[in-house]
Structure 1
Amino acid sequence: MKQDFSLSRTVFPVGKALKGGRFFSRSIRFAGRWRVVQLGVILLWTSVLPISAVRTGSQFKATDAQVSYIGRVERDERAGTVRYDWVGTYLRVAFTGTQIGMTIADEGESWHNVFIDGKWIRKIRVSGKTPQRILLASHLERGRHELQLQKCTEGEYGCTLVVAFDLPDGGQLLSVPRRERMIEFIGDSYTCGYGTESNRATDPFRLETENCDKAYACILARYFGADYSLVAHSGRGIIRNYGDTVQVSKGNMSQRYGQLFDEHNTVAYDFKAYRPDLVVINLGTNDFSRVVTPTADQYIGAYVKLIARLRRHYGEVPIICVTPHSRSPHLATCLRLLQLQVDTDKKVHFAEFMPAIITPDKDLGASYHPNYSGQKKLAMTLIPLVSAVMGWDLETWKE
């Protein structure tokens, strides 16, 4: 639904320009004070500042039929809003005009990647329950453009509410067809992109260095030109969470997998948003972390139940069970026993990352998690198996 409005206040990105950004400065008077505002061909900044804009435009609700959301989201048709918290959830929409903004809020703190016409523009930080207008991109060429906005941090830290899209006067939203391929990834911090933008293993976790788009799952999906959904949470196992003192943890991934939200509600997910062509499971590192561990029967039993659940919801979709690159001997043994137990299901496949490919000095980020360099190596080792299982052709590496 289209509504007319006058922009009396918007949010304008300023700050340090990233590589490739070009800008110039202009002094503008705000409330009796002069401030320097940086204007650019395309906005490549990571902080925001309110400014006044004397012009008219159009606003479109977040639930507009032209907008596609990929992942688990809650739509409020009456309010016209869309809410989600799972890492990697993204929206895609085309638009006409020279710029696009949006009205957005967050119950905590979330970072989002902004892509225009398939190119990464910048990351934005969204925080605060009061909806705010953010100018995503400006000074574009006239004509049709595509926006993709991806939540690249975990639901533990924030739940995003998309309220509306803002376009200049005469601008329109247009639909973007969904991709023909769809992959669902079920995982933990390795799938979430924990520490992918850190370059030192001894760095502590910081939300601003988590970026799922630089983790193996998104890299692999991008390679095959597939849409994707991440059902992942750092520190969680299929039955036991990291460092827990019990063998069966509350809030493990077996429980969370059935939820519409990762952290902000326990309402059941109806499994109607999409049907994947492939499911990739990468769980087990946290199950066998320090303090205590589940028995082999507990871990394998939970894994078999998850596979059965996938069969109920998705039918005979191929499933790839990945042995984590940081596997312990106990975990490796359990996964071999699992393989024997599900041997009659010919559409369940098993994969291992190539050994010794992660070098500590180059490939590890925060808290000894793979950074972008390490994640690319992990993705490259899975690509041949995905190609073989799915019959998808290999292409020239595009990262």
Structure 2
Amino acid sequence: MQTSPSSRTSGPPRPDRRAVAFGGLAATCWAALAGPAVAQARVERAPAADAPTPLPFAVGGRVISDGEDLTYQWPGVYFEAAFTGVSVFFRVGAGDQILHLLIDGRRVGEMIRPAAGLYRITGLEPAAHRVRIEVVSEHQAGPARFGGFALGADGVAGARPRRRRQIEFIGDSHTVGYGVGRDQRDCTTEEVWASTDNSSAFGPLTARRRQADYQTNAISGRGVVRNYAGAAAPTLPQAYPYALFDGATRYDATDWSPQVVVIDLGTNDFSTPLAAGEPWTSREALRADFEATYARFVQTLRARNGGAFLILLTPPSAEDEIAVAVGRVAERLKAAGEDRLAVLATGPLAFTACDWHPSRRDQEQIAGVLSAFLDAHPEVWDGRRP
């Protein structure tokens, strides 16, 4: 059972400062991971004289466009393109971020707070390739940007990658992958930021197993009605309608229609005791507000996503407080006619990552719980009841 310290620091990771120059461009060749077609891949700054041709690409996650760059603040954003050639260019925009660079599904580099500018991946075999850039960091302090892919004269564009399945994950720091890269509970603010990795969180792990596109709409420290330790900031349902954390730029969901929506909330609502000045006079009042607000939020998701199947996760908590409250939410929804919904317990977790957060093994366990359910109910992808 999770004790009260296990989420005592579910607050947002905040980057301290920008690294100088390349900001930690890891252009190492990851030869142990790469296959023959990408074993000699290198990541480098592109010469200023290069003027490559734009390469069409697919986008995963919530982004907005200003005509040149794509801007994003929610975690889990990724970009993909297909091409034939020996190299591919990409442009990084402003903003603190960590990028994982993949060719044909294998990591060929990592960029930590890269300086804005044009880069290229070279040393590829002359063959058809897929390039993918995953933004794995969290950006509560401000948005980050990406300027797209491009090809040199020797490259030929391929069809943009597309997947039939879409799955959305809504939550807090557990869903973000907060501090998952460090197997220790005591971490500095900088260590938390540097070790947060959404690609290792249960959402992307599950989506990759299902060959699905995904969105990670989660913010560390946020709850349904109450943020960690009563912090003053929009709750997750309040922030959810917006593409950025400005409360003004609404998200256009025209191209997003997930068949499955997974919600993992409640840790921040209940993990700390109520303090003087908060709007709830008792724990019972907090639970009642949580249940009513959570149910309304799920109903807005139902209205927005039509036939999507909804999964409510229950993380461990003292005296199973979250599980009991979420169970009541499900009962309320079913009484109102909701019939495409399931409640799944994550099971016991070790919480050995930064600030008592789920470890890599914990994240794999949660992904296993979700995958087992989806394997047992493949009909949910087709809009049918399990």
Q: TM-score, normalised by structure 1?
A: 0.78
Whole-Å separation in 2 of the counterparts to 1:88 and 1:149: 11
- Could you tell me which residue of structure 2 aligns to residue 171 of structure 1? 155
Report the secondary structure of 1:295's partner residue. helix
Letter in 2 for 1:365: A
Name the structure with the higher helix share: 2
Per the alignment, residue 8 of structure 2 pairs with none
1:134 aligns with 2:146: no
Aligned residue number for residue 125 of structure 1? 112
Superposed, 1:1-399 pairs within 5 Å as 18=30, 20=32, 41-43=40-42, 52=47, 58-60=52-54, 66-76=56-66, 79-107=67-95, 109-127=96-114, 131-135=116-120, 137-205=121-189, 206-244=192-230, 250-261=233-244, 263-264=245-246, 266-292=248-274, 295-326=286-317, 329-343=320-334, 344-355=337-348, 358-359=349-350, 364-391=352-379
TM-aligned CA distance change 1:230 to 1:52, over 3 Å: closer
Deviates more, 1:289-298 or 1:138-147: 289-298
| Matched-pair contact (CA < 8 Å) for 2:26–2:112 | no
Identical positions, percent: 24
CA distance in 2 between counterparts of 1:299 and 1:12 reads: 42
- Whether the 8 Å CA contact 1:259–1:266 is kept in 2: the answer is yes
Match of 1:381, SS? helix
1:104/1:160 contact within 8 Å kept: no
DSSP 3-state at the match of 1:368: coil
Detail structure 1 runs of 4+ shifted over 4 Å in the superposition: 10-19, 50-53
How far apart are 1:19 and its partner, in Å?
5.8
Deviation at 1:157, TM superposition (A): 3.9
Counterparts in 2 of 1:51 and 1:155: CA distance versus 1, 3 Å: closer
Secondary structure of 2:358's aligned partner = coil
Q: 1:106 deviation in Å?
A: 2.3
8 Å CA contact retained: 1:224, 1:392? no
Q: Do the aligned partners of 1:21 and 1:43 also contact (CA within 8 Å) in 2? A: no
- The 2-side partners of 1:183 and 1:336 are apart by 22
- Name the SS of the counterpart of 2:270 in structure 1: coil
In structure 2, what is the equivalent of residue 35 of structure 1? none
Preserved contact between residue 87 and residue 122 of structure 2 (Cα < 8 Å): yes
Q: Distance in 1 between matches of 2:225 and 2:320?
A: 18
CA contact (8 A) 1:106 1:158 kept: no
Counterpart Cα distance in 1 of 2:312 and 2:218: 15
Aligned partner letter, 1:319:
L
Per-residue deviation, 1:278: 0.3
Question: How far apart are 1:175 and its partner, in Å?
Answer: 2.5
Give 3-state SS (helix, strand or coil) of 1:229's partner: strand
C-alpha distance in structure 1 between counterparts of 2:143 and 2:109, whole Å = 20
Aligned equivalents of 1:353, 1:280: Cα separation in 2: 12
Shift of 1:57: 5.1
The 3 A distance-change label for structure 1 pair 164 and 330 is closer
Are residues 118 and 18 of structure 1, via their aligned partners in 2, closer, same or farther at CA, if it must alter by over 3 Å?
A: closer
Structure 1: where are the runs of 5+ without partners? 1-9, 23-39, 394-399
Q: CA deviation at 1:201?
A: 2.1
Higher strand share: 1
Give 1:397's aligned residue. none
| TM-aligned CA distance change 1:271 to 1:21, over 3 Å | closer
Post-superposition offset of 1:176:
2.6
Residues 11, 306 of structure 1: CA spacing in aligned structure 2 closer, same or farther, 3 A cutoff?
Answer: closer
CA distance in 2, matches of 1:228, 1:14: 26
Counterpart contact for 1:85–1:264, Cα < 8 Å: no
Q: Residue 105 of structure 1 contacts residue 160 of structure 1 at CA under 8 Å; is this kept in 2? A: yes
Shift of 1:291: 3.3
TM-score by length of 2: 0.81
Instruction: Point out which structure has higher relative CO (alpha carbons under 8 A, 6+ apart).
Output: 2
From the CA coordinates, give the structure whose radius of gyration is larger. Answer: 1
Give the conservation status (yes or no) of the 8 Å contact 1:155–1:264.
no
SS in 2 for 1:286: helix
Distance 1:144 1:17, change over 3 A: closer
Give the Cα separation in 2 of the matches to 1:145 and 1:377: 32
Output the amino acid matched with 2:63: V
